[in-house]
Every structure is written in C-alpha cells, then in structure tokens.
Structure 1
C-alpha cells in the first residue's frame, strides 16, 4: 500500500488520499468540545432535584450524542433505549436545561488539536460549518465562550431544521449553502449519528476516537479514516476550486 492510500478498518476498499473537497463540516460535542463533565453535572443536579440517585460520569457520557432530550430520558431511566414516564420527563427537562445553562462551559474546553486544525483549515481556504444535535440556545453560547464561533460560516443546531443527524438534511443544507455537491463535503464527527448522516448524504466522513459514540469504539464505524485530531485531518484532504 503506498503512502497516498489507506485501508480503513471499517471499509473494504482503499481510499485515495488526499481527498479532494471544498468544505468541511464539524460536529460539536465529542469532536470540537469536551462537554461531558458539564453535561453530566447538569444531569446529576437534575436527578438530585428529582430525588433520584446520581450516575457516574462514564455512564452519562455513554448517553451523549442524540440531543439533550434523549440525554435526559436516558439519565432518568439509566438506559439507552427505555422511555421514562411522560410526566416525569416533562418535569425533568426544564430542570436539566436550567442546570446546564448555568454551567454550560464550567469545564468545557476544545480538544487538543482543535484550534490548530481550525486555523490550518482556514489557511487552506476551506469553507467551514458546525453541525450539532445540541439546541441552538446552548450551541451558540458555547461556541462564543470557547472562541470558536468566528471560524464557521454556518452553524446548524438540533433545532435549526425539521430534521437532525442521523438524517442527512443538515449536511445537504450545508451543501446547498456552500453551493457544492455532497461529494465535495467532508464531515468530521465522533459517532454513529455522524456516519449514518454522511453516508445518506453522499459525503466523506472522518471520525475521531476520543468522542461520545454511546460507549462504542469509533473504529467500528463506517468512516473513511480515523483521525487523532482535527489537525491530522488537514493532512488527508486537499482544497479544490
């Protein structure tokens, strides 16, 4: 195998690098920002107020990835799939949102290589977007507080469009915004949600191994490459006009 191709463990065909693209979309939680500690703190404060036992950080981290409503449901049931009592959920959600809003970026920080990677992508002329399932009320303040907002031409949150990841709608919306074809877009994410959305949209997909893939190993995902950081991603792509 030559240095310009890579056999990804999750694919049966070789991908030729560098991949030629025009724009890069990046996930938020678990890809750009390490938000788990603040998300878990809010979940446990919610459970405290409801008189329920707290959960370990590792457990709550495995619940991250499908938006705050799903995180609240999973925290209430201590399960990935079980549904809580509707009345309990209706009571719990605003408690969670209040606590998370009060501690939105107490411990949240960009992962290593994020700032360097974003700067390199900008210098190379890529158009950038952030697409997340987190509600806009939390997404924009987080990006501002961590000085990341200015890097992105467009930010799509979980409530920006009628559908969110794993539906391809947000990625296709970004393609339309950038006036490019899906094959000219790269998504960098950390979860099954990201890979399903990218494959459905026809986009390229890189995954980081350090994020919140519901407790699963990122190497199991159907991606084009596993990258250790955003900075590493810049070595595997090339800007086309």
Structure 2
C-alpha cells in the first residue's frame, strides 16, 4: 500500500474509488480545495489555548528553548490559527506537512522541524497529544511528553510517553526533569 500524506487530496482518493466515484482524483482535488477554504475561514471560531499553555511556552522560551510546531496540517492553516488565538509569537517556527519530506510519524518530519529553527535533536522534547506525536518521537529517538487530554483514540498512557501530564502547568517541570 502506498503512503499518502494526511491533509492531502490523495488521502481521500482511495475512499472515493471504493465508493465508485467517477474521476476520484479530480473529485478529491475539488473537495479538498473546498475543505481547505472552509477550514481557513472558520479555523479559530471554536479554538482556545488550553489553560496554562501560554504561560508554559513563555517560560520555556525565556529559558532559551526554541519552540517549533511540527504539524501534519498545512503550515498556513496552523499559522492562521496561532495568529487568531494570539500564540504565533511564542514559536520560532511552524513546520507543516507542506514543508517536509514526510508526515508524522516519520522521523524526518520532527528532524526537519528541529533543523528549521536551528535546534539540536539531542536537546529536543516532543510534546503532543496523539499517536502521530508519539510515533514521530519514538522514530526520532527523542523524549516524549504527552498530555492525557488529547484527541487520540489510543489512551496517551499506552503510547509510551516519557512523561504524561494532566495540565500544561506541569510542562516546564516535565521538560526540566527529562534533561536533569
């Protein structure tokens, strides 16, 4: 089976083919364009930063951490969301699926994201909430902090995090503990 990146019309073509659609690739491209336009228009309508995340990111940044978003979404959508919820200035970069050679959970995504901000993979911690985040951290052999309130179907505790946190108030201490 060929690997298709998430957030692409290619990922939808297989389902349309199975459903018997005529010209599944063309239909997927058209629908995907409509989806991206809709998503971009309403991306922040129901979005809010989790409690404690802004303070934690500010504290990490003040301590010298380079912060980069590693997302399987297109970078412009992530930047738009972060701008609208006043978080974009907290990050040194945003590396979306459209800027890397492979999607999470492939190690290349995290490695390329870290390199894009001049970071050091040996001093990297992946912070996430889902199986793709756990997979990329394990593949890149980097420590993993997961929150237990993410959207993953697999409970975060079963994804073998180095540290599992219940609130972003615990993030700075978790990062410190990993490197001490």
Provide the residue aligned with 2:164 in structure 1: 226
1:197 paired with 2:136, answer yes
Which of 161, 178, 197 matches 2:118?
178
For normalisation by structure 1, the TM-score amounts to 0.61
Distance in 1, matches of 2:114 and 2:31, equals 36
For normalisation by structure 2, the TM-score amounts to 0.80
Distance in 2, matches of 1:198 and 1:119, equals 23
Instruction: Tell me the matched-pair count.
Output: 165
Provide the residue aligned with 2:21 in structure 1: none
Indicate the structure with greater helix content.
2
Q: Which runs of 5+ in 2 are unaligned?
A: 18-23
Provide the residue aligned with 1:146 in structure 2: 85
Indicate the structure with greater strand content.
1
Provide the residue aligned with 1:50 in structure 2: none
Distance 1:102 1:199, change over 3 A: same
Deviation at 1:195, TM superposition (A): 1.2
Distance 1:224 1:208, change over 3 A: same
Contact 2:101 2:109 in 1 (8 A): no
Contact 1:158 1:164 in 2 (8 A): yes
1:92-135 CA-to-partner distances (Å, cap 9, x unmatched) read: 21221121122111111111111121122123222211111111
1:183-216 CA-to-partner distances (Å, cap 9, x unmatched) read: 3100101111111111111111111111121x22
Distance in 1, matches of 2:100 and 2:175, equals 28
Contact 1:208 1:218 in 2 (8 A): yes
Identify which of structures 1 and 2 has the higher relative contact order when contacts are C-alpha pairs closer than 8 Å and 6+ apart: 1
Distance in 2, matches of 1:100 and 1:172, equals 27
Contact 1:120 1:231 in 2 (8 A): no
Deviation at 1:179, TM superposition (A): 4.5
Q: Which runs of 5+ in 1 are unaligned?
A: 1-65, 77-81
Provide the residue aligned with 1:121 in structure 2: 60
